[in-house]
Amino acid sequence: MQTSSDKPFLIVETGQPVPSMRRHGGFPHWIRSAAGLARGKVDAVDVEAGETLPPHEGLAGVIVTGSGAMVTERRDWSEASAAWLRDAAHAGVPVFGICYGHQLLAHALGGEVGDNPKGRKMGTVAVDLLPAAADDPLFAGLPDRFLAQATHQQSVLRAPDGATVLARSDHDDCHAFRWGEAAWGVQFHPEFGTVHMRGYVHARAEALARDGFDPKRIAAEVAAAPHARNVLRRFVRHARRRQAL
């Protein structure tokens, strides 16, 4: 008989890191390491490459990665993944979407995703918790403002109906949300350490300069974000507890 601790987490791989950072592995490795998950407790499905998602029954939880793609492109693999996530969330499977995964989950549940009217955002950002976060399983007890790593051009412009917006930033009114009791989306990257974030800034230096930013200054201002990483680890613990019920 399969116990809750035997059930694997599934990482839905929606993209690859920028080429210069792939020597550090792919997103599933970064997420598994940041989440504190043992290698044998995680499966990964590369939906961008056409791999098929398994039945969501029997999963401890689902984590959806970031991507260089845009949700508004409505790629076939992305739309199919959104439908799968919608079914999983409605079935009560714990889901945690990161960046593109955050946006894809919002889209799947009826929210609105699009280009952020403020443009590109990259670097270490300040995330401000909203009052609803005070009793949220992942955010309760965290500082009202904490640092996180971010890199995106699109955002959740409108959270899904029935969702609770948990955090905002100067760039994003919906930087984190919860839908139901077990589905979360966060715009920030809890799996990014300072090396990952600086690597992304260096990789996107030309694009940042074209948009009027100073990539050297952004890289210099990158700082550790332990509270953001803790949110991911709390998700893993919360999912395990739910499966044990």
Pick the closest to residue 8 from 233, 239, 231 (CA basis).
239
HEC letters along 196-237 = HHHHHHHHCHHHHHHCCCCHHHHHHCCCCCHHHHHHHHHHHH
- Contact yes or no for 215/222 (Cβ under 8 A): no
Query: Catalytic amino acids?
Result: 99, 189, 191
Dist. CA 9–CA 94, nearest whole Å: 10
Ordered alpha helix ranges (H), the chain: 27-35, 76-90, 100-108, 194-203, 205-210, 215-220, 226-244
